[in-house]
A and B are shown apart, each in its own frame.
Chain A
C-alpha cells in the first residue's frame, strides 16, 4: 500500500467537500428564482462528459502499471468497457465485462 501525506489528503477532502457543496448551493441557494444566462448552462452541460474521457484516455494508451508500454489486456478491457457502456447504457454491466476481459486476458497471456 502506498503512503500518502496526511495533510495532502485532508486538504483534498475538505477542499472538495466545500467546493462541491458550493457548486450545488450556488444557484438553488443564492440565485433563487432569477434566470440564468443560456451560454453558461450550455457550457456546464458538457463539463463532465469532457473531463472524464480526458482523464482516462492517457491512462489507456500509456498505462502506469506497465511503465507506459501499451498493453493488450488493458487496451482490450478498455474497448470492452466503452462498447458495453455504449450499447447497454448500463454502467455496472460495462464495469463487470471490462473487468472480466482484463483479468481473463491477464490470466491467459500470463
Chain B
C-alpha cells in the first residue's frame, strides 16, 4: 500500500513540476548558445550543464569567463549564486532528513529552484505526508525538467556554432540576468539587498579581479538580512 501512495505522490510532483519545462527549455537552449559563444566545446558544455545543474550559476561563470576574471574569483562568485541551494537544502532537511542516505544523496543533486519551490509548498500544506511520500513527490517534481534541460542545452550548443558574431549576443546574457531580477523581488528585504548590491558594485568597479562583485554581494546579503530583522521587529511592535 505504501508503495502505491508513493507512486501517486510521484505523479502529483510530476504534474506540479511540469509547467517549469517552459522555463527549462529556453534557458537550457540559451546556456548552450552562450557556452558555445564563450568558446566551450560540446563535451565541456554538456559536462558543465549536467554536473553543475544550476542555470544562474552557470550563466554567471560564463559571463565572468568572458571578462577575463581569475579562476578563483569565478568559482567563488558562481558558488555564491548557488548559496541559495544550501538554504533549500537546510529548509528541506526537516522534511526529508530521515530518508535513507542514498536517497538524500540523489535529492541533493536534484535540489534546484523548481523542485524546492514545488516541494516546500506541498510539504507545508500536507504535514501528514510520510517521508517516502515526500521523497516520491520531490523526485516527481524534478523529473519533467531534468532530461529536457540537458537536451535543450545540447540543441543550444549545436545551434550556437551557427550564430554569426553580428547578433550582439554580448548583451543577451545581461538581459537574461536582468529578467531574473524582477521575480526575485518578493519582499522588501529582497529589494533592499538588490539595491545595495547594485550601488556597491558600481562604486567598486575599479577594484581588480572583479573583487568588487564579492564585496557588493556581501554588502547586499547583509543589507537584506538586516532589513528582514527591522521588518520583523516592526511587525512585533505593531
Could you list which residues of chain A lie within 8 angstroms of chain B, going by C-beta atoms? 1-4, 8-17, 19-21, 23-29, 31-33, 36, 39, 41-65, 74, 77-78, 81-92, 94-95, 98-99, 102-103, 106
**Whole-angstrom distance between the alpha carbons of A38 and B232 in the complex?**
13
Evaluate contact between B38 and A2: CB separation under 8 angstroms. yes
Query: Can you give 23 contacting A-B residue pairs, CB < 8 Å?
Result: A1-B36, A2-B39, A4-B65, A12-B61, A16-B58, A20-B85, A36-B93, A42-B225, A45-B224, A49-B193, A49-B220, A50-B218, A50-B221, A51-B216, A51-B217, A52-B56, A53-B198, A54-B212, A58-B202, A77-B175, A89-B183, A91-B182, A102-B171
Interface of B is mostly: helix
Chain B residues 205 to 224 lying within 8 A of chain A, measured CB to CB, are 205, 212-213, 216-224
Residue of A nearest to B64 (CB): A55
Q: Which residues from chain A contact B75 at a C-beta distance below 8 Å? A: 11-12, 15-16, 19
Evaluate contact between A28 and B39: CB separation under 8 angstroms. no
Out of A15, A45, A48, A63, name the residue touching B171 (CB < 8 Å): A63
Residue of B nearest to A86 (CB): B182
Out of A29, A51, A65, name the residue touching B80 (CB < 8 Å): A51
Evaluate contact between A32 and B97: CB separation under 8 angstroms. yes
Residue of B nearest to A13 (CB): B48
Evaluate contact between B54 and A53: CB separation under 8 angstroms. no
Give the Cβ gap from A84 to chain B, nearest Cβ, in Å.
7
Chain B residues 75 to 103 lying within 8 A of chain A, measured CB to CB, are 75, 77-94, 96-98, 101
**Whole-angstrom distance between the alpha carbons of A12 and B181 in the complex?**
25
**Whole-angstrom distance between the alpha carbons of A77 and B77 in the complex?**
25
Tell whether B159 is near chain A: CB-to-CB under 8 Å: no
Could you list which residues of chain B lie within 8 angstroms of chain A, going by C-beta atoms? 22-23, 26, 30, 36-40, 44, 47-48, 51-54, 56-58, 60-61, 63-67, 71, 74-75, 77-94, 96-98, 101, 104-105, 107-109, 111, 168, 170-172, 174-185, 189-190, 193-198, 200-202, 205, 212-213, 216-225, 228-229
Evaluate contact between A39 and B225: CB separation under 8 angstroms. yes
Out of B82, B172, B216, name the residue touching A19 (CB < 8 Å): B82
Evaluate contact between B83 and A47: CB separation under 8 angstroms. yes
Q: Which residues from chain B contact A88 at a C-beta distance below 8 Å? A: 182
Q: Which residues from chain B contact A62 at a C-beta distance below 8 Å? A: 205
Known contacts A25-B89, A46-B190; decide if A54 and B179 are in contact (CB<8 Å): no
**Whole-angstrom distance between the alpha carbons of A23 and B219 in the complex?**
21
**Whole-angstrom distance between the alpha carbons of A98 and B175 in the complex?**
6
Q: Which residues from chain A contact B216 at a C-beta distance below 8 Å? A: 50-51, 54
Known contacts A47-B83, A58-B202, A64-B170; decide if A84 and B179 are in contact (CB<8 Å): yes
Evaluate contact between B57 and A16: CB separation under 8 angstroms. yes
Out of A42, A47, A83, A95, name the residue touching B81 (CB < 8 Å): A47
